[in-house]
Structure 1
């Protein structure tokens, strides 16, 4: 009996040791982007006092530069983005404007449909007047700052007049970008049932648009890098449109982390918030400090009827940005010029910059003419990788440069050498040709000299 107990004791001890070892390995080798702390933890560590009931459903921070995940919390949790859906409408509009058919000066008139949407209850809208005319420039500002659903439909219909076809386009674009957890039912983002008769005809379900923090980070990264001019709209704390007319309206931002806003954070200049009774409070934030632009997506701070939730969203977002800027930096990891790698000289054509975590060791990888900085990290999707710069064998490069800069002289010398070689061959095989030529040249020369002498005597 004692022997059985002894064996059982040692077996338990062995299991404990193995378990401890495995857990230690997990902690040691876990990706640096996997944080154990929740957004509420981070905010409280940063000096706020946030109840854990305000933890969002999902949150992610990425580098706009390379799509690297800098912080993640339930980043694939599906949740309604609410009015942040308007960012996809904006992206499609910007792509349409690239074609040149729509410009910032293009005008849109408020018709019965847009007027009707502006009067729907429980929606983010402004006071549109039937027959009033707005430019695309004005409508973008109204859509982003006032979160106007009516303005959103007006812009969406510049891309496609049929609302259902436009939502098809939204979903195709989401799939193209790799937003695998995203499904749109309308261009603006409110619960579909609140649009009443204005729901897209092929999307009549009483559903919310659905997405995830990861998916919206992908979308915002494309927006910010491909169309940085949108930040002139999203960076405004207060805006007035149609100033001095009967349609003048003034709007204030809902992005409380915007620099200059109630919970303003240094460097924040966009993007968009979203809220509803089903979504709670969401936010898409972008900002830049020390040449490093980050994007944060926070979804599902609840609930919509709880006044502190709206501002706790931004307190947590700000605390997370504090953490990111303290841990990561945009740095030069390799200078352009000549370097010795494995005993061989190579030339790097541009400085290599990357997002580097404080205290994280990495190494430079040279492969197939490109060099990148490698360390343990994750990216928002398979479409993103560590930035690279080109390199080449230095001796080969010097040879190429010599021929590039001296090509004209090389060609001229080659031509002269070929001609000289031809003459030498002729002289070797047909020397009498040269005697005849010499005789003719001598006679011509003597005739010329004689003519000159006679000319001088006459003068």
Structure 2
């Protein structure tokens, strides 16, 4: 009897879990293979997620909370903090940083992605941002972080505090750049273990990217370039090509993709954070852990899968006007909706409208990347109240004039009723 009850309980629990979350039955490899990719299961990522940039709605997910090294995608947090510091007026894009001994020696460390720095050369923040993003240079990323805080340990503390503030629950940083900490050698930050990797998850990097794009959309002016040249016409001139193969103009370019950042290492495999826009619908895709680093096809399979998933998402979801401004019936009540309501429409789930406390939203079974995110809303009110208020507003001048004239006429009639001879005398004169 107890076994039957226990099995029934497990069945109900499993059913409730399945019914409470959207089903994403197909894995990235399966989606890619359905589109003709023919890749093996060994390329299955360790975690993938796609969200809507505007409101954080989850559009696709596959193990999005598995903890994994972000590798050079760590630089997105450093860049986020650089933009935040610029907003606070600490420096601007034309601020220059000199290549000192520390930055030069970091550029010479083996096994790290870098550019060729010359001791004493000067780079603007604008140049450093472009080099850190496109070339994924660790040395120029350290040059940027030094503007926010010259103390590496304190800067990493700030990275971790910011991750906590943004609800990135699976994330912990050990350096600003994403290389395994043991590769930083003498430049490992004091107080942080030597043999640790930065750690995060696809979900957390979707959260970070959504905040970065919402607060600092200028980042796209750097991430959208498939090829860049910095320090042009000087002895320090260098040209870099993007590692984001899904970027428009790149090897596996996808229409509308204009960012953001890849990350790879022998411990992380191949990661990518991508954003793109079609028909005013911007999405963010994060894919982590396409293994392995020593297998050349893995780097491009990462983007083949990403492109296939974006196809699936754009075919299923779109942004549409779901409710027009104007008069509507809600139950037995007539209401007036003050603005057009635009929301994400899912072909697989029909929505209904939810009216409560003067706000209406489009409601269907969906998830958001963080509990702080909600569907978009517009204001509504009782139509009769709206009609009365609008009539008063539109005819305010006439109403006031009418009231004044009525009061004046009433006063004259009152005077006439008690002193009619005043009016006869006035008429005779």
TM-score by length of 2: 0.91
Check if 1:199 corresponds to 2:188.
yes
Check if 1:154 corresponds to 2:143.
yes
Check if 1:239 corresponds to 2:239.
no
Match of 2:112 among 123, 145, 150: 123
Following superposition of structure 1 onto structure 2, how do residues 279-298 of structure 1 map, counting pairs within 5 Å?
A: 279-298=268-287
Q: CA deviation at 1:345?
A: 2.1
Structure 2 gaps of 5+ residues are none
Following superposition of structure 1 onto structure 2, how do residues 226-265 of structure 1 map, counting pairs within 5 Å?
A: 226-265=215-254
1:88/1:27 Cα in 2 relative to 1: closer, same or farther (>3 Å)? Answer: closer
Q: CA deviation at 1:380?
A: 0.7
- Deviation string 1:103-147 (CA, Å, 9 cap, x unpaired) is 222222212221121111111110111111111111111010000
Following superposition of structure 1 onto structure 2, how do residues 65-214 of structure 1 map, counting pairs within 5 Å?
A: 65-214=54-203
1:358/1:27 Cα in 2 relative to 1: closer, same or farther (>3 Å)? Answer: farther
Match of 2:19 among 1, 26, 29: 29
Q: CA deviation at 1:372?
A: 0.8
Match of 1:266 among 229, 240, 255: 255
Query: Matched residue of 1:182: which SS?
Result: coil
- Radius of gyration: which is bigger? 1
Structure 1 gaps of 5+ residues are 1-11, 447-459
Query: Matched residue of 2:294: which SS?
Result: coil
Q: CA deviation at 1:93?
A: 1.3
Q: Give the Cα separation in 1 of the matches to 2:409 and 2:20.
A: 73
Match of 1:332 among 317, 321, 331: 321
Q: CA deviation at 1:428?
A: 7.9
Query: Matched residue of 2:147: which SS?
Result: helix
Query: Matched residue of 1:286: which SS?
Result: strand
Q: Give the Cα separation in 1 of the matches to 2:397 and 2:99.
A: 66
Q: Give the Cα separation in 2 of the matches to 1:250 and 1:406.
A: 66
Q: CA deviation at 1:412?
A: 5.5
Task: Tell me the equivalent position of 1:299.
Answer: 288
Query: Matched residue of 1:90: which SS?
Result: helix
Check if 1:378 corresponds to 2:397.
no
- Deviation string 1:379-413 (CA, Å, 9 cap, x unpaired) is 11101111111112222122222333444554555
Q: Give the Cα separation in 1 of the matches to 2:195 and 2:358.
A: 53
1:276/1:420 Cα in 2 relative to 1: closer, same or farther (>3 Å)? Answer: same
Q: Give the Cα separation in 2 of the matches to 1:428 and 1:120.
A: 105
Q: CA deviation at 1:419?
A: 6.9
Task: Tell me the equivalent position of 1:393.
Answer: 382
1:414/1:201 Cα in 2 relative to 1: closer, same or farther (>3 Å)? Answer: farther
Check if 1:48 corresponds to 2:49.
no
1:152/1:403 Cα in 2 relative to 1: closer, same or farther (>3 Å)? Answer: same
Q: Give the Cα separation in 1 of the matches to 2:17 and 2:158.
A: 43
TM-score by length of 1: 0.85
Corresponding pairs, count: 426
Query: Matched residue of 2:221: which SS?
Result: helix
Task: Tell me the equivalent position of 2:266.
Answer: 277
Q: CA deviation at 1:31?
A: 3.2
Q: CA deviation at 1:426?
A: 7.9
Q: CA deviation at 1:159?
A: 1.6
Q: CA deviation at 1:323?
A: 1.3
Q: CA deviation at 1:415?
A: 5.7
Q: CA deviation at 1:213?
A: 0.6
Q: Give the Cα separation in 2 of the matches to 1:428 and 1:162.
A: 91
Q: Give the Cα separation in 2 of the matches to 1:209 and 1:428.
A: 93
- Deviation string 1:279-338 (CA, Å, 9 cap, x unpaired) is 111000111122221111101111111111111111111111121112212222111122
Task: Tell me the equivalent position of 2:207.
Answer: 218
1:295/1:424 Cα in 2 relative to 1: closer, same or farther (>3 Å)? Answer: same
